[in-house]
Amino acid sequence: MKHSSKPYIKYGDGYILLQDVVLPELPETLEMNGVTLQRKHEFHISLANVKRLATFIDASRVAQLTQELTEEFTAYVTEHSMLDYTLTNDFYFAQKDTRKTVVVLAKVPALRGFFEHIRKKYGRKDIPMLPTHVTIYSLDPNVGIGILSPAELKELGTKVKLPIKVAPRILNRTKFGHPLLRQKAKRLTKEEILSPEIQDLIASMRHTVVNRPYGVGLAAQQVGKDAALSLIAIKSTPTRPNRQPFESVIINPEIVETFGRRTGLWEGCISCGQGIDTLYAKVPRYKKVKLRWLDQNANEHEEILEGLPAHVAQHEVDHTNGVLFVDRVKDTTTYMMADEYRKRVVQKKR
């Protein structure tokens, strides 16, 4: 999914929204519970209705608290990105007085910290975390329903099934310095692998690799997710047209056997640069390894990999263990940026 360069907007009755959410093509109208709903023309994740929160905290100071909460939120999002989100496939038909809408729920992990902060600040442990959602249909395309709490969603809404799935989105990369890149990733159970959340993550990682120059591998930690999951996506390129394609989702990967000695092989990492600003160096790697992993259907594999797939697998297994390629560099004189690497290494090989 695409995001604008200014992801936070405020408009209407005290709403704070995350803009530019892209959904799959949808019919213009939807028949639901005897009424015809109109598709909205723009889709936004509703992060917070600060006016309703202000009313909940102290109905006698709504204007003052609305301003305070807006300022609190603005300060919070300068330190915590809201762009890491997941759209679920949970749809609700909600109605309040004459307003009727269909919404799809969203998960925005960083938002939890904001609500924890304001609960502490105002001494109100009962302040609910709003169900983040996207209104996709309504009677009036410009009118939605501000949902204050999960209990209110249950009261106002009915879960419905729609013949659509939300689109995979382009994920933002985490960069060197992010603590997640230094943590050992959470290993996934078979039930977790088959969950909608992980399946959606895999779909979005594939979508990201296809639509961004993110190299030949992408680990979940590199897109802000704590999961021992990587996507190997080796494909031919204009500079390497004879490269044999190889794609595999590897979950809980382990190198169970190595063959021969390690050799210095060139590699980089999208977490320490992008395009010509990517950092490269020679890293000692095995040219042949035996890898054990689970695939996206939770099936177990054990296979001997050689050449580039073996090289990429070692890099991705390192990511799941909180190890970065710079940790393994022995000859620090080999560090160079991508444009120099292409000029001095790739072109010489051709």
Strand partners, 294: 251, 300
Sign for the CA dihedral angle at 339, 343, 346, 350 comes to positive
- Find the catalytic residue in 197, 300, 316, 340: 316
Amino acid, single-letter form, for residue 196: P
DSSP codes, 325-338: HHHH-S-GGG-EEH
Name every residue whose Cβ is closer than 8 Å to that of residue 229 and which is 6 or more positions away in sequence.
185, 188, 198, 201, 202, 205, 219, 220, 249, 250, 251, 320
Alpha-carbon span 159 to 57, nearest angstrom: 29
- Yes or no: say if 53 and 69 are a contact pair by the CB < 8 Å rule: yes
User: Is the separation of the CB atoms in 33 and 137 below 8 Å?
Assistant: no
In 3-state terms, the chain is what percent helix, strand and coil (to 5)? 35, 30, 40
Alpha-carbon distance of 92 to 83, in angstroms, equals: 23
Phi, psi dihedrals of residue 336, rounded to the nearest 5°: -160, 160
At residue 9, the 3 state secondary structure works out as strand
Locate all alpha helices (DSSP H) within 110-231, ordered by sequence.
Answer: 111-122, 150-156, 190-193, 196-211
Q: What is the DSSP string of 198-226?
A: HHHHHHHHHHHHHHS--TTEEEGGGGT--
Say whether 340 is catalytic. no
Q: Which active-site residues does the annotation give?
A: 316
